[in-house]
Amino acid sequence: AKRKYNGRKELVHIKDGLTLTLEKLSVLADSLVFTESTSGIATETIMKGTELEENLYQDREKMAAVALEESGGTIEVMGVLSDKLRIAPLPLMARSEEGHLAHRIYEVEPSIHHEEYDPALSDTLPEQQARTKRRTRAASTNQVPDIFLVEVHVMVDEHHYKVFDRREALVTYLALTIALVNMRYEDTSGPNIRFLLTSIQKEEGFAQTFNASDIGWPDKRMYAEANKTYKHLLEKYGRSPADITVAVTGLIFADEYDYFTYDDARVQGQARLGGVCNVNYSMVMVEDVPMSFGIVSRLPHELGHALGAPHDGETYTWNNSLPPRNDCRKDRDYGHFIMHPYEPGNGEFSNCSKEHMTAFISTLSTSCFDLKTKQNCTTEVKKLPGVSTNLTKICKLAHPKFLEWNVVRQDKENCRFECCSRLSLEYEELTCGAEHVLPDGADCGDGKRCVKGRCGYYDEYGAPTTTRQAA
């Protein structure tokens, strides 16, 4: 990779036809609180957000977010180049004749299935409906800001954080994740919604686990039971120290049934409708293979629920003065937007979803808009994490019991890939596990990259390019 400067923006050349136009990004509070437990005693470390963000950049057009590290005259790039492309350094590879460090650019795929099971959600709707009139009256006196900075507390379990050897590496990964989520909320208005990472907590044992057959493999593996885990999270951590808590597990969510099948592992996240700033359920949960950035295809959807958006095709009245439009409810053809009930898109919200979020935000008390932490106000960008993602490494983390790890791109156009292995080294036939999502910036073949779940001609920063430029 080569870098040069163009005004306040930085141009980083990854390879022929792939150049990112980077600017600094800002998603961390000035004082980031990092909590971890030692021998049962929780310790808090205050980390300087401005320093942690020094090497983080984004390219909004290309939906890219990357970390740049310069050492000994070479540049290491890690992050998402587009929805499907990732990049990571290969430190054990020899340098080129020009002295450049070798990097691996690889492709990841989004998941087709994104079903959610919210058994407790229906129980909360009458309560929420009863509050509608009171909230409508309160909304008339609210001053909704032009920009709503939603403060986020991230809680990560041991199945996820064990992959990161330093706390700074975990912070970088989560910061790039929030930056990529923000890109998907850029076209919201009234107010414009942005997320600010204010605290991170390493928390063991919040996933309620069970063992069942591995997907595509004869051995058993550990799963997180979706409904039990979410119920436990609400009971123990339901009141967020921020506006919303995001619980991240490195396990696969599933429903525990006597006759377990692949269909029981389709759930990938869970949230309560209108959870932001709620005293009882300001909590969403998602699964993520660490370092895969698969979380980016799930978190915008769950946060959309927390901000008042039901699935496309459904309506909910938050404010009688801002009722949902008549054409939001449809029997078929929801479009391929972020809040699709079964196959959510990765790029943008429908107008109905945006209007639901605006109506919900109008009911919030002014205290929810108050910033609880100091904010770093710079706006600069980096390469998409998928530019440097190692898909084989992701497969090893996701399927540790496989004999080998072959990356199979069955559905490149929709930014998905599978991890496959022979059941025995004497076999020729491959068996494959669950589908995974290609992170933003990952290569999806033919000179294309994934950006917001779409395979197209983008550079490492997510900016659209011509066919020739991207080749």
The verdict on whether residue 311 carries a ligand-binding annotation is yes
Higher pLDDT, 38 or 383: 383
Question: Token digits for 210?
Answer: 């069970």
**pLDDT tens readout for residues 321-365:** 999 887 776 655 667 899 988 777 768 999 999 999 999 999 999
* pTM flag (> 0.85): no
What would the mean pLDDT of 429-439 be, rounded to a whole number?
Answer: 84
**pLDDT tens readout for residues 183-219:** 999 999 989 999 999 999 999 999 999 988 777 777 8
What would the mean pLDDT of 246-262 be, rounded to a whole number?
Answer: 82
Query: How many angstroms separate the CA atoms of 172 and 271, rounded?
Result: 25
**pLDDT tens readout for residues 45-82:** 899 998 999 889 998 888 888 888 877 667 788 888 87
Instruction: Provide φ and ψ at 273, rounded to 5°.
Output: -65, 125
Q: Are 35 and 437 in contact (CB under 8 A)?
A: no
Give the residue numbers annotated as catalytic, written as ranges. Answer: 302
Which residue ranges make up each domain of the chain?
121-369
List the beta bridge partners of residue 16.
none
For 427, the enclosing helix (H) or strand (E) is none
Higher pLDDT, 124 or 83: 83
What would the mean pLDDT of 406-433 be, rounded to a whole number?
Answer: 84
Burial of 94 (0-12, 13-18, 19+ CB in 10 A): exposed
- Looking at the predicted structure, is the pLDDT value of residue 411 above 60? yes
Residue 192 has a pLDDT of: 95
Residue 122 has a pLDDT of: 37
**pLDDT tens readout for residues 119-167:** 334 334 433 433 333 344 344 435 788 999 999 999 999 999 999 989 9
What would the mean pLDDT of 454-467 be, rounded to a whole number?
Answer: 81
Residue of 272, 317, 325, 339 whose CA lies nearest to 117: 272
Residue 463 has a pLDDT of: 78
Residue 207 has a pLDDT of: 94
Q: Is the CATH number of domain 121-369 3.40.640.10?
A: no
Query: How many angstroms separate the CA atoms of 317 and 207, rounded?
Result: 33
Question: Token digits for 59?
Answer: 């390219």
Burial of 380 (0-12, 13-18, 19+ CB in 10 A): middle
Query: How many angstroms separate the CA atoms of 319 and 278, rounded?
Result: 16
**pLDDT tens readout for residues 222-231:** 999 999 999 9
Lowest mean pLDDT among 89-103, 139-153, 242-256, 400-414: 89-103
Please, which pLDDT band fits residue 461 given cuts at 50, 70 and 90?
confident
Mean pLDDT over the full length of the chain: 80
The verdict on whether residue 159 carries a ligand-binding annotation is no
Higher pLDDT, 380 or 105: 105
The verdict on whether residue 232 carries a ligand-binding annotation is no
